[in-house]
Structure 1
């Protein structure tokens, strides 16, 4: 993300996982783990939306940890249609944030993975925040969020998203009473609206502090 980004490899469930860490100026208030879009459609930890979320986290004092799912970049293994990718996320959490405040965030397919990761972690530890951007509700079955987690969740979606229709996200959110922040005129990759996305993410982290 910048000249100060630290890269490393950790052991993952399918072999090595490639990470990129961006640190805040002072002592981190916690760790934010961010999941990227679909690996079979060019998704990597260098995706602009994921980097925007990482910048918001660093701005608000969080250590931002992006990572490549199995089979992407220097990460070993092959794509596992979501199940293995949730395991990858949890391996990153275990290695980088075994305790202390934790935030999860994900974009598109990464939103699906982050939601399931949050559900898996719910019994073990509370999350400070969950941020789902353009979650792939039309392509994967997103889980229902427990009330306590739902109260700490930010969902942002583009009005004109032609990859994941807004209606699909609303259909998932409606039965749970989950608010969805709609970016007028925004499409899936938030072209021209990344500064707004960064502000929304930073505001959410501040509100959940």
Structure 2
């Protein structure tokens, strides 16, 4: 899990990167929660996903948005952070030119940024959206959504009502060719307990394996 520094639009960005042995391994980009509310790449949901993607044979990157940790720059209201995510994807693609598939996974604010990135980079093939802040941001830009993916939300989320995410999923599922795998976690709030994090990670793995069409061992050919 080597530390990496790569060029961002407002200075260098700090990340942790695992490189899979297979040259055509799929890749995943992980995006952390809101920088002004304690979000970093070391968030336990993001860290757990990083480990699980690694176990599944992916090349995977998690990084700090501008102004977080060693990343240069300052918070930019989401606009600059979308550019940071694009720079991170550029880094991933540069070191994985033969990647078989590109995934983005985000938690909370990171889920919003991830979906914005999805609209800007048509080469993305799948997404994991955890606790998307559907009551705080307008997700109307997903018209049309370029691909299907997984959305996970806590049924007792005190910041983002589960009903707002349900409405978003319902709207996306009306789009031609788009299928959202929507799963809720009973008793979970916006911040997940360690046991709930494991549940989220298992859901993500199950979805990825279903889409990739292979078992965990088949994916993890390292």
Same fold (TM over 0.5): yes
Q: Select the residue among 134, 148, 154 that pairs with 2:131.
A: 134
Q: Does 1:94 align with 2:90?
A: yes
Q: Does 1:118 align with 2:118?
A: yes
Give the total of aligned pairs: 199
Structure 1: tracts of 5 or more residues without a match: none
CA distance in 2, matches of 1:156, 1:190: 12
**RMSD of aligned residue pairs (Cα, Å):** 1.6
SS at match of 1:157: strand
Q: Counterparts of 1:11-160 in structure 2 under 5 Å? A: 11-24=7-20, 26-27=21-22, 29-98=25-94, 99=97, 100=99, 101-122=101-122, 125=123, 127-142=124-139, 143-144=141-142, 146=144, 148-150=146-148, 153-160=149-156
Change in Cα spacing, 1:187 to 1:145, as seen in structure 2 (3 Å) is: farther
CA distance in 1, matches of 2:15, 2:118: 19
8 Å Cα contact 1:20/1:65 also seen in 2: yes
SS at match of 2:22: coil
CA distance in 2, matches of 1:56, 1:148: 25
8 Å Cα contact 1:55/1:198 also seen in 2: no
CA distance in 2, matches of 1:163, 1:70: 24
The equivalent residue for 2:191 is 189
8 Å Cα contact 1:59/1:202 also seen in 2: no
8 Å Cα contact 1:33/1:103 also seen in 2: yes
Structure 2: tracts of 5 or more residues without a match: 174-179, 213-222
8 Å Cα contact 1:49/1:189 also seen in 2: no
SS at match of 1:54: helix
Change in Cα spacing, 1:87 to 1:148, as seen in structure 2 (3 Å) is: closer
8 Å Cα contact 1:60/1:205 also seen in 2: no
SS at match of 1:40: helix
The equivalent residue for 2:216 is none
Change in Cα spacing, 1:111 to 1:69, as seen in structure 2 (3 Å) is: same
Larger Rg: 2
The equivalent residue for 1:172 is 168
